[in-house]
Structure formats: C-alpha cells, structure tokens
Amino acid sequence: MTVLSSMSFIFLLIFLHSLSPIHSLPLSPALYVFGDSMFDSGNNNILPTIAKANYLPYGVNFVKGATGRFTNGRTVADFIAEFLGLPYAPPYISIPISTPLTGLNYASGSCGILPETGDRYGKCLNLNEQVDLFQRTVRSELPRHFKSPEELSDYLAKSIFLVSVGSNDYINNYLEPNVYDTSKRYPPQPFAELLVDSLSQRFKRLYNLGARKIVMFEIGPIGCIPSITRQHKHNGQCVEDTNQMVSLFNHRLTAMLNNLTSTLQGSTFVLAQANFLGYDAIRNPPRYGLKDSKNPCCITWANGTSGCIPLLNPCPHAYKHFFWDAYHLTEAACSVIATRCINDTSICTPFNIKELAQI
C-alpha cells in the first residue's frame, strides 16, 4: 500500500529519528507501561474485544507494521523507550517464555480506571487488572533473574513507569448515558474525585510492588477529538463543556501526585501535563509543524467518528496531521508530547524524563 511519496516518507524518517539520541548504555534498566489505547502495544490483539488495531492502516509507518498500536507509527511510550536506550516494551499477553528485563507493556485499549469502562466492546484490562499482571511479573517471573530480593528491589526502584489512563472513563463510560448510569449517579466533580481516588489506590499498589519513578499523563482535551466534535453541537473548534469535565480530573490529579510523593518514602511521581500541550497543538498546529488538527488521517467508520476502516489508504501526509483516527494521535503528535516530556520540566514536572532517569 502506497500512502506517502518517497520524499515525504524520507523526510518523516529523518525528522523522527532526530528526536531520539542513541545511548551506548540504557539510562534506565526498564520501562513499564500501563494505561489505555494511547499506550497499548498489542495486548488487545488476543483479548475478545472489537477494540483492536492489529490491521492496516494502523502501523503503516511503524517498522514492525500493524502490531496493535492505535496509531500509524510509534506511541509516546515508544519514543520514551528510544530515548532511554531501551527496546519498545512488548505487550505482556504475548511475551516470549523468558520475561524481558527491559520492561513490559500492560496497557489495554478501551479500558480505564473503573472496572466497567469499555466493557461494551468486549474484554479489556482495566488498570487494577494491569497491576495484577504486574504483581505476577514481580512475584513469579522476575525473581529468577536476580540473585536476591534486594537486587530486584534496586532494579524496580531505578525503572521508569509510564501511565496514561482515564480518558476512556469519560469517552467509554461517563459520556455514554444510554449505556452507563455513571453520569446519573455522579455530577462531574464527584466523578472526577471517584476516578482520582481510585487511581491513587492503584499507584499505592505499584509502590508496594517496588515502583518508585512513576509518570502519570493527564487526560488530553477529549472535547477536541473528532469522535466528540463531529457528534455534538459546539462553538469553535472543541466541545469545551467536555474539556471542562476533564479539567476537574486533571486539577485533582496534581494534588494527588504531590501527596503521594510526600507520603510514600523514596517515591517520585511526575505529572505529564499533556492536556495544555495537546490543546495548544490542536488550536495552533503550525506552531508544532502540523497542518490539520481537526480531521482523522485514516478513513474511519461512521463518518470520521470511529476507528480506521481496514486496508483503506490513509491521508498521504500523516506527519502533518494531529489525529490518526477519531480518537488517537498520529506518530507526529506523539513525538511532540514525548519530546517535550523528555526535555521540558514545564510539561513533565517536577522532573522531565531526562532528569528522572538520573535520580
């Protein structure tokens, strides 16, 4: 399938390659990844769900093709792995017999913090189930690779943990009143509190299992995604009422992460302020080398409000688009977020990824 001209494709490779320095030794022993379809690298491939991305045009610009990533190329987690000098964290469900010591990916598309989120599409791994699998990794699979519990603890303490979760608790739960009664039981503020309180318990579990360096990404401006903007009346480019709901979650998230850092000895919780960055890129795409921040690049089901239709050619210049399908970002948009989080303490705070790896 030909989707980019030769010159455009070469430009894309050069541009994205320049974002990631090459290290002789990894900056961190491992990268562990949790969350939803923003980070899923193939866990949903084997699960009985319709929320899958293991077919073209997904992965059309990825070196391994359609792996189950919900984008055309690399995710934010992939860019961070490259910067750290680590392999891409493989999906836990399809790992080889020998557990890799460079990290694993437990993220699952369509799922969220709450156990019921996304279940209308089939089986996915909610965040608590992902932590359950990590617990199995720590207690049953990793110990055989280390000489002592202390050595394992040191390895986990130096590893970096990425989490991107919560958007589906709105998209695939709270904003679907005909399917879920959550919005009838909780006004927006109490719902945000419910999510953050539940997330805090999951973080405490990760800490008790040995995690010390945890990066949590804000929920992005979901009021700007094509799935929302094409189905709801609004003024301007985004549905700002939806963005305001999400801001309630993100505001509480900041205080929660600061509290965990101060109460859990030796922990460092980093807030990745992806919401403002994404919103600014959507409103001012040329500022980030982009052109189209309204339309999906691939041809989707339901008139641009869903996932990519299999095997149809996407737009010819994906690197100029912010949105890949009606929900997810292109590789180019992911590179913007990852690069800023790696280098900029105003986006990833109080430490960027470069600094976090040195702690």
Q: Determine whether 232 is an active site residue.
A: no
Q: Determine whether 247 is an active site residue.
A: no
In sequence order, what are the residues at sequence separation of 6 or more whose Cβ sits closer than 8 angstroms to the Cβ of residue 260? 200, 203, 204, 207, 267, 269
Q: Which of 20, 108, 169, 328 is catalytic?
A: 328
Strand partners for 34: 163
In sequence order, what are the residues at sequence separation of 6 or more whose Cβ sits closer than 8 angstroms to the Cβ of residue 172? 110, 112, 117, 118, 120, 121
Question: Amino acid letter at 229?
Answer: T
Our CA dihedral for 189, 117, 198, 223, rounded to 10 degrees, sits at -40
Rounded to whole angstroms, the Cα distance separating 323 from 338 reads 16
Q: Determine whether 37 is an active site residue.
A: yes
DSSP string spanning 7-58?
A: HHHHHHHHHHHTTS---SS-SSS-EEEEESTTT-SSGGGTSSBS----STTT
Rounded to whole angstroms, the Cα distance separating 57 from 33 reads 24
Name the nearest CA neighbour of 314 among 300, 333, 329: 300
Q: Which of 37, 159, 247, 267 is catalytic?
A: 37
Tokens standing for residue 185: 């039981």
Q: How far is CA 47 from the centre of its chain?
A: 19
Rounded to whole angstroms, the Cα distance separating 103 from 28 reads 10
In sequence order, what are the residues at sequence separation of 6 or more whose Cβ sits closer than 8 angstroms to the Cβ of residue 84? 23, 26, 27, 28, 31, 160, 353, 357
Annotated catalytic residues are 37, 325, 328
